[in-house]
Structure formats: C-alpha cells, structure tokens
Amino acid sequence: MKNPSNRRHFIKRTTLSSLGALLGAEIVYALPEGYLPLALSQEKDPATPFGKHEEMVVLNDQPWNVEAQAHLLDDVVTPADKMFIRNNGIIPENIAVDKWTLTIKGESSRQEKTYSLEELKAKFSQHSYHLVLECGGNGRSEFYPPADGNQWTVGAVSCAKWTGIRLRDVLQDVGIQDNAVYIGYYGADTHLSRDPNKNPISRGIPISKAMEDQTLLAFAMNDRDIPIAHGHPLRLIASGFPASVSGKWIHTLAVRDRVHDGEKMAPPSYAVPCEPVEPGTNVANENMCTIDKMPVKSLITYPKSGAILRENQKLNIRGHAWTGSQNISKMAYSIDFGATWQSCNLRPAVNPYAWQQFEAEIDFPQKGYYEVWAKATDNEGNSQPMLPPGWNPKGYLNNACHRIAIKVS
C-alpha cells in the first residue's frame, strides 16, 4: 500500500506470522515485505474492493492496482474476482451505457464517425476468444537495482474470455487512408490530478496489430458485462502486446498518420533500452524502444508454493504458458535448479494469444527441500531465462522462470 503507517507495518508483521494458521496449512515461504493480501488487511476500505477474491493483493489504492498470486490463477479462464487491476487514473463513475458512444477520427480516417454501443453490437459480427492480458511491468519486483512503479510479483496477468467485434471491421466501415500507421485510444477515466484536460493514459497499436482477428472492441468478459474496473462498457483488447495497449472505457479511437503520441506512449513509458545496458544505467529516451510483443512466459498455478509432501508421495503440478508470438511449443520443469529439465504435457491453445495448460507428475528422489522451476519455449524458439533478463530503467518484461518451494518430509 502507499505510505503504509507504522501501525499497519506492525499489524502486517504480527498477522503474517500467523498466516499458516489462517490458511490452515504450513508454509515454507513467507510473503515478501510490503505484500498485503486482502484477507489480512486490517483496514478493509471498502470491504473487498471490486468484489475481488480476498487473497488478491493490493499494491496501491490511489490509483487502484491489485494483483493475483500464482495459485489464484489456476483456472483455464480467469474469473473476474481473480483478475489483476491496473489503473493509471481514476475509474469513471456513473456510466450511462445507453448513451455510450465510440467515435473514430484522426488524420488518417476517411471520416469522423460515431456509433452507439447498440449499433456496434448489431452491425458487426461478434467473436469470442480467450486472451491473455499481461502488464508490461509484471515481475518488476525482481529487478535489481529496483525500478519505481507498482512492485508486481507474478500476478499481473490474466486470461479471460473476451467477446466483442473486430476492430478491423469497424475501421473498414469508417474507411482508413493508406498512410494510416497507428490507432490511438481515449478512455473515460480521470487523471489523478482530476484535471479534465489531462489523460491518465492514451496508448495504442500499430495498424498491423489492429487488423488481427483477435484484436477486439470488447463489451463482454466471461459471458457477462465487463466489470467496471476492467473497462465497462467498451474496451480495446490487443493481446500479445503489453496490456497497457488494451484501453479501458473507450469512447474515441484516433487513426493516426504517425505513431500515436498520447499520454504514456513515448519512452521511457513502456519502453526498454534498444541495446542491452548494465543494471542501473541512465538511458536517454532516444535510446529506448517501445515494447511491442510480450515475451514467452509461464506460471505454476498448482500447488501453491510451500506445499508439504509425505515421502514417496508424487506431486502433480500444473499451470499455464503464453507468448506474444504464436504459441508455446515446449514446456519443461526442473527440480535441481536447472541442472536437468524434464518435459511437461502441454495442451494446444484454444485460439492464438490464449494461454496453454501444462502438467507433470513429479517423483522426488529423497526427503528434503526442493524448488520446482518451470520453463516455456515458444514456436520461434524463444525460452525463459532462470534470472530476470535485460535490466531496464522502468522494470519491464521480466519473464524469468517461475518457481515454487516444496518440502518432502
């Protein structure tokens, strides 16, 4: 939480020591400092924000930034209550759905055109896909020297079922000019300063990404209205890129003849050094490149880190793997800190940009402490490093292998 009081620090420490009792299980790993599960918050205001699961972790409440823990992400389709929230500004209030409109304009749009939500739903064919959204800063907490910003651990990722119309179909209906290079979004959230002339964030996607089948203007998530925190009533979804391009509460799209220049579009936002740098380097903005595709990554979602087994008991692990490229081709695990790797069973993706499920049955050679590490490889041959790769000033793109602690006693 932001500026935690001493009192809260004290409460946190004492409650954490009884975490094992609370969860009804022994734990090997304690939670890192500054990591406050909703269940342990003594100041639940409001009760459980946005109806989130009580083990979701609040990293900031001004604006709201809430992450999952690995074991909460076990479902193939992430339910709303276990989906991370990342906000740059203040969530819009009193949304009048029947009056909501989407306007397409910009230098490279053939016309300015406004649609009501009903028109969009009636006029264009609807499509549903399972789509991963991962914050570009997921994993930031592992970089050293540390980077400012929300200290996401592993839980700023989700894969929900999104339903909407294709952005491509709408752009074709409006008509875009040959010199169009980028689509910029504008959402209805308010800047933290409450200055109505400032946008909290206004990013976007290159035209090639806008034209993909899976790039949606979504109005439903998991077969219901999109929850307010996640962009109700209309949201751009462009999976495979950092989730910051998937604008929430969208009312306007600009068809640009240049790279969009909205808030948090230019480096250092969502950008990394174009050439690798040594940790701690100050990098000039002109030497930073905007992130496009997200890297290959995976998460062990069962069991929860800290599980304790009996001797000779086999362990079934499972989780998900995903990539900003096409798909995952190989999934492996190690119980000897990467000395040897064994393959996992891997399921195909239900559609491009959906995460893929893996599982394995593990035999431990003797009693003791183990770490199970998981490593995904995608169709382009990219795989995950065991350490946080490519230090960068803003702490983006940490796709290091996930690991869990296991005790065989």
Q: One symbol per residue from 115 to 144: x for binding ligand MTE (CB under 6 A), - otherwise; what is it?
A: ------------------x-x---------
For residue 347, count CB atoms less than 10 angstroms from its CB and return exposed for 0-12, middle for 13-18, buried for 19 or more. Answer: middle
Q: Nearer Cβ to Mo ion, position 86 or 166? A: 86
Radius of gyration of the CA atoms of the chain, in A? 22
Q: Does 91 engage in binding with ligand MTE (CB under 6 A)?
A: no
Note whether 264 and 255 are within 8 A (CB): no
Closer CB to ligand MTE, 87 or 108, in the complex: 87
- H/E element, 14: helix 6-17
Q: Is 151 in the site for Mo ion (CB under 5 A)?
A: no
Spatial distance between the Cα atoms of 59 and 264, rounded to a whole number of angstroms: 20
The reply to whether 187 sits near ligand MTE by the rule CB under 6 A is: yes
Closest distance between ligand MTE and the C-beta of residue 228, in Å? Answer: 10
Residue 72 interacts with ligand MTE (CB under 6 A): yes or no = no
Q: Exposed, middle or buried, 265 (CB in 10 Å: 0-12/13-18/19+)?
A: buried
| Options 135, 210, 250, 406; binder of Mo ion; rule CB under 5 A | 135
Q: Does 262 engage in binding with ligand MTE (CB under 6 A)? A: no
Identify which of 223, 225, 260 has the alpha carbon closest to the alpha carbon of residue 245. Answer: 260
Binding of ligand MTE by 155 (CB under 6 A): no
294 makes contact with ligand MTE (CB under 6 A): no
DSSP 316: E
SS3 call for 50: helix
| Least spacing, CB of residue 83 vs ligand MTE, in Å | 6
CB 188 within 8 A of CB 92: yes
Contact status: 247 vs ligand MTE (CB under 6 A): yes
Whole-angstrom CA distances from 135 to 79, 302, 323 are: 17, 22, 13
Does 244 bind Mo ion (CB under 5 A)? Our answer is yes
* Rounded-to-integer distance, Cα 347 and Cα 283, Å: 41
Binding mask 213-232 for ligand MTE (x = CB under 6 A): -----------------x--
Q: Which of 74/306 has CB closer to ligand MTE?
A: 74
Binds ligand MTE by CB under 6 A, chosen from 249, 333, 364, 373? 249
Q: Minimum distance from CB of 137 to Mo ion (Å)?
A: 6
Q: Which two tokens stand for residue 95?
A: 């949304």
Smallest distance from the beta carbon of 346 to Mo ion, in angstroms? Answer: 27
Which residue, 86 or 403, is less far from ligand MTE as judged by CB? 86
- 83 binds ligand MTE per the rule CB under 6 A: yes
Least distance (Å) between residue 68 CB and ligand MTE: 10
DSSP 64-122: EEEE--GGGG-SSS--GGG--EE-SSBPP-S--GGG-EEEEESTTBSS-EEEEHHHHHH
200 binds, among ligand MTE, Mo ion, none (CB under 5 to 8 A by kind): ligand MTE
Q: How many CB atoms lie within 10 A of CB 364?
A: 18
Residues that bind ligand MTE (CB under 6 A): 83-89, 133, 135, 187, 189, 200-201, 230, 243-244, 246-249
Residues that bind Mo ion (CB under 5 A): 86, 135, 244
